[in-house]
Structures are given as C-alpha cells and as structure tokens.
Amino acid sequence: MPKLALPRLTFWRGVLLAILAAGTYATFLRVFKGLAGSTNLTDAFPWGIWIGFDILCGVALAAGGFTISATVYIFNLEKFRPIVRPAILTAFLGYVLVVVALLFDLGRPWNVWHPLVMWNPHSVMFEVGWCVTLYTTVLALEFSPVVFERFKMTKTLHVLHVIMPILVVLGVLLSTLHQSSLGSFYLIVPTKLHALWYSPLLPVYFFLTALTLGCAMTIVESFLSHRAFGKELEMELLVPLGRVALLILGVTAVIRFADFRHRGILGLPFAPTYESRLFLAEMIIGVLAPALMLALPKVRQHRTGLFLSALLIVMGVVMNRLNVSITGMERSSGEIYVPAFTEIAITLSVVGVGFLVFALAVKYLPVFPEHEMKDARPPVAPDALHVAAQPIRSLPMPAIAVVALAFVAAGALGADGVRRREVVPGPPAPAGTPALAAALASFEAPAEMTFPQAPDSPGPVSFRHASHVDASAPDCLSCHGNSYSFLGRTQAPPAGLMHDTKHCGGCHDGTSAFSIEDDCTACHKSE
C-alpha cells in the first residue's frame, strides 16, 4: 500500500496555515457573537476594513479581468492572449471572495439574496449587487473553457468560443458600471466624506484607478507566477501595460488637479491634519513615484523596475480605497476606528484562500500555455522580496532613489498623520470650497428672513428656519447645496419661477408640505 505523501512544510505554507487558523477562529467569533462581539464597528462607523479592503479593494484588484479580455477580444490585440487566462482567473477568484467577505459584514448574511428579488432601482447598492452577481457569472463562463479543456469537452468548448466575444462585451459593460458605481456610494455623503476624497467625479476616479490597477495587477501577477510556478515572463507584453498604466495615471492626475482647482482646495493637501498627511502619502506612493519610474524607458523595460512600479500602483490604489472608506469618514463620525483582531484575521484569511485556490488551479488546470511551463525553470517558492532583490544591482540609480524616497516620505507622512489622529475628531469636514467650509463652521441661521419681492409677486415672503429645519439634526445642504445660495443673499426669482420644483415647489407639492397653489396668503403677506 503506497504511503500518503504530505506536502513539505515551507515557510510560506506555514504562514498560510497560521493565517487560515486565525481566520477560522475569527469566523467562529463572528458567527456566534455577532458584529458587536467580534468587531470594532459601531452605528456611527458601520463600514470598516471588510468594506474598505475586502469589497472596494477586492473589486478594484480584480479589474485585470475585463481590461485584458477587452484588449484581446474587443481590440483584437492577439499578442496579449497568453495572459488572458490568469487575468480572468484572478478576477473570478477576486469577485467570489468579495461575495464571501460581504457575508461577514452583513448583519444577516442569509438575506444576501434579497436584492435579486426585492428590486430598488433607485439604490446604488441595488445596481452594484446585480452587476457584481452578473459579472461573477460572466467571469465563471469566461474561465470555464479552462475546465472543459482539462476534461476534453470539445463540443462545449466550441460553443463557448462562439459566444466568448459576447461574454467579453457584457463583462466590460458590467464591470464599467459597478467599478464606477462603487464611487457613487459616497456621493450621498458630501458633508461626511472629507473634501480631499469627496468629489462629484468620484465615479470617474474609481473607474480610472480600476483601469490603472488592472494593468498593474497583471504585471505583479505575472512576476509572482514566474517565481512561484516557473512561468515564462513575457516582458514584451508587460512593458506596454506599463505604458498604458502611465498614461491613465497622467489623465487621472490632471483631472484631480482640475477638480481641486475648481473646488478651491489646492492648498488643502498641505494642511497640518491627519487626512492631509495620508492623502499626500497616497499620492506619493500610488501616483508620483510609479509615474516617475514608468516615464523612464530604462526602468520600464527593466524587470525589477517594472515590477516595483506596478507594486507601487497597487499599494497606492489600496491606500486610496482605505482613505475613502475609513480615513475620510472618521472625522465626521466622531470616532477613531481601529479594526479588531477578528476583522484583520478574516481579511487576511480571505486573501490567503485566494492565493491557495490560484495555486491549485495552476497546478491542475491549463491556466498557462504549456510551452511556457516547459521552457521555464523549475518552480521555486514564491518570494516577492526575492523577486525585487535579485537583480536590484542592475536597476538604474534614479529608480532606486525614487523608490527609497517614496517610502521614506510616505512613512514620515503616515507617522505624523497617526500622531495627529490621536486628537479627538472635530466636526465634519465639508466637501465644498474653503469659503463654504468657513461659512458652515460659523453660520447661525436667522430666526426669520424676508425674500426681496419680485415685481409680479402678490406680497413679500418671510422664511423661518425654525419651521423648516430640524434643530436636532440640521442638514443645510439639502437646500443650500442646490437651490439657494449659502454664502450670499438669495435674490428671489419671479413668482412663477419661485414655484417650480427647484425652489419652493420642490417641497410645497401637496405631499411633503402644503401645496403652493392652496393659499397664496399662507406665504405672501400683504403690506
């Protein structure tokens, strides 16, 4: 009887076992003690790293699936076909694990199917839920040829090859929708999300950074697969991805600068605050440093230079998503959020399961072309640090200096930010201009104000804040964010226009409040 051969316990396998053991224990606590007994989440701060990292980062990290698929099947760039399968595998695993992570964050995870049958087309969450569900299904179909090829199911393979372009187009559409819609989550909290990250262009930022991350993750994945599985490294394919990532970084930076200039907050990143320090760290790690490196052809065409540039982009986008979901929301919540051991353990275990399943898929399925595996050197232990350190001496000195300065600067900014974070958060940071911020901080609503009387008005109108505003929870921007000026005295339009839905008629419609057509004298007082 043959002996059962157990896998050899290496350092990284030991780390993985420890992470999975901690995750199992944390899952036990989450199931039997609930959110209150296993997390540091509160009613004031309900979204932690399970949303910030597992969901927002997880979806973005899986963007390589639709970017590479679109490159091959839509733009017909056949030379990128060798990296399609691993990119789709990464995306599929990413989305499956996003759904798994979501189950931990839901108070009642057994109701996760409700959005599929209880439609609310006005909700961003509804759209994201459906898009993620459909796109995960599309990714499963896109990856299924790998499985059918393994089991010689030729007829099924033929059918899938015929419909594959349709699946790719559908996947690109769905991914574009929910990648941008994740940013739309935060459009509804302009007075809660810090101005450094709040913008009307948040959906655009989320989509552009997802595209950049798709290119960067494909590069990082290729390097790690090269070290872990002995896969051939296709530098002729990865270098163009680096150029595309550089282009999208530049476009995103220009749009962000124009946005800051338009909102009058160009000086806000340099303010002595916790948020400003982490914003600068995010920009240095995720934008400035990789852009400088990728702009140099000698660095972009160097194995280690390309790998480090892509890794910096990945780190920068992860920092961005965490800053949006956690850093930018702390001040308005009045709380300092520190994830509990349970939250960290579950997050790490989800990532660990992803690595494990990817390795098993590569071992038992034809994920990589057969000739790449034959011609490559024997598999070695995956060690990202070794990947970067092996040829470091041949890396141009400017690139080494950029990486070193980036980490030193980001580390110093982060440390200073953490020091400032210990201060009890103040009032919510407004998302508008500095002038609006000052106004919101010092404004006291008058008890009564009279609008200037228009020529065709039957009489002046006096407005009382006391009868229109809930003093216990005032929301100034519900009116002053759209219809009425906040910083200057409102000049009343003609009566007919004042009655439209953009002004008084928006609320006085007979449902929210009495109709403007009921009794003119209720508002217009004669002299």
Q: In the listed set 421, 453, 486, which residue is the last one of a domain according to the structure?
A: 421
Span 102-144, pLDDT tens digits: 999 988 888 888 888 888 888 888 888 888 889 899 999 999 9
Same domain, 227 and 363: yes
Average pLDDT over residues 134-161: 88
- Residue 180 within a domain: yes
Same domain, 232 and 105: yes
Span 320-345, pLDDT tens digits: 999 999 999 988 888 889 899 999 99
Model confidence at 413: pLDDT above 90? no
- Residue 284 within a domain: yes
Local confidence band at 423 (pLDDT 50, 70, 90 cut-offs): very low
pLDDT at 117: 83
What span, in angstroms and rounded, lies between the C-alpha atoms of 461 and 466?
15
Q: Model's pTM, two decimal places?
A: 0.76
Q: Which residues contact 225 (CB under 8 A, 6 or more apart)?
A: 86, 231, 362, 368
- Residue 217 within a domain: yes
Same domain, 274 and 323: yes
pLDDT at 493: 58
Q: In the listed set 388, 421, 454, which residue is the last one of a domain according to the structure?
A: 421
Q: Which residues contact 2 (CB under 8 A, 6 or more apart)?
A: none
- Which backbone phi and psi does 93 adopt, to 5 degrees? -60, -40
- Residue 435 within a domain: no
Q: In the listed set 363, 388, 421, which residue is the last one of a domain according to the structure?
A: 421
Model confidence at 162: pLDDT above 50? yes
Q: Which tokens is 192 given? A: 């809660």
Could you tell me the maximum CA-CA distance found in the chain, to the nearest angstrom? 107
Number of compact structural domains in the chain: 2
The range of the structural domain enclosing residue 250 comes to 11-421
Lowest mean pLDDT, pick from 262-266, 425-429, 458-462 = 425-429
Local confidence band at 436 (pLDDT 50, 70, 90 cut-offs): very low
Same domain, 412 and 450: no
Q: Which tokens is 452 given? A: 């200037």
Model confidence at 1: pLDDT above 50? no
Same domain, 200 and 322: yes
| CA 517-520-525 angle, 5° bins | 160
CATH number at residue 71: 1.20.1630.10
Average pLDDT over residues 279-292: 94
Distances (CA, A) of 115 to 94, 174, 249, 357: 21, 17, 35, 28
pLDDT at 483: 56
Strand partners, 463: 449
pLDDT at 434: 47
pLDDT at 488: 46
- Check: CB of residue 427 under 8 Å from CB of residue 468: no
Residues in the chain: 527
Average pLDDT over residues 501-517: 70
pLDDT at 125: 83
Strand ranges for 159-302 from DSSP E: none
CATH number at residue 496: 3.90.10.10
What span, in angstroms and rounded, lies between the C-alpha atoms of 89 and 98?
14
pLDDT at 151: 85
Q: Which amino acid is at 202?
A: L
Lowest mean pLDDT, pick from 30-44, 368-382, 395-409, 471-485 = 368-382
Average pLDDT, the chain: 81
Span 30-89, pLDDT tens digits: 999 988 888 999 888 888 999 999 899 988 888 888 888 888 877 778 888 888 888 899
DSSP per position, 262-289: HHT-TTGGGSSSHHHHHHHHHHIIIIIH
